[in-house]
Structure 1
Amino acid sequence: MGPSGAGKTSLLNVLNGRSKTRLSETTEFYLSKFTPIRVCYLTQEVSGHLLPGLTAKQSLIYA
């Protein structure tokens, strides 16, 4: 992954629109057009995304 302070969380925040910082016009992403990509981003704040009464598996299925 990367050491503390390397920008991992900042990159995720930019990619999912949670940050006002925008990618530059020279930024390039290479994705396979043959592989569907499903992404779910959960922050570390538990209260923001866990529903009471659900198991860990149920929470992942819901997400």
Structure 2
Amino acid sequence: MKLWLGKKVFEPLNELQVFISCCTVLNDTLAWDLGENRDPRDCIDIAPDMLYDLEHISDKIA
């Protein structure tokens, strides 16, 4: 995830509280509901196939 946090679209997630409080599952994938209204247009999500291809991560962020 650290790789992506430097990209403009993921900037809001640099704040740990936003990262944790907005994290959800939407449309069967990991997403952050920034508008807190479950509107996919206000969300940042990660494609399921990209998540599947990631290496196992053992460190915890929260």
Q: TM-score, structure 2 length as denominator?
A: 0.28
- Larger fraction in strand: 2
Structure with the bigger RCO (C-alpha within 8 Å, sep 6+) is 2
Q: Which has the higher helix share?
A: 2
**TM-score, with structure 1 as normaliser:** 0.27
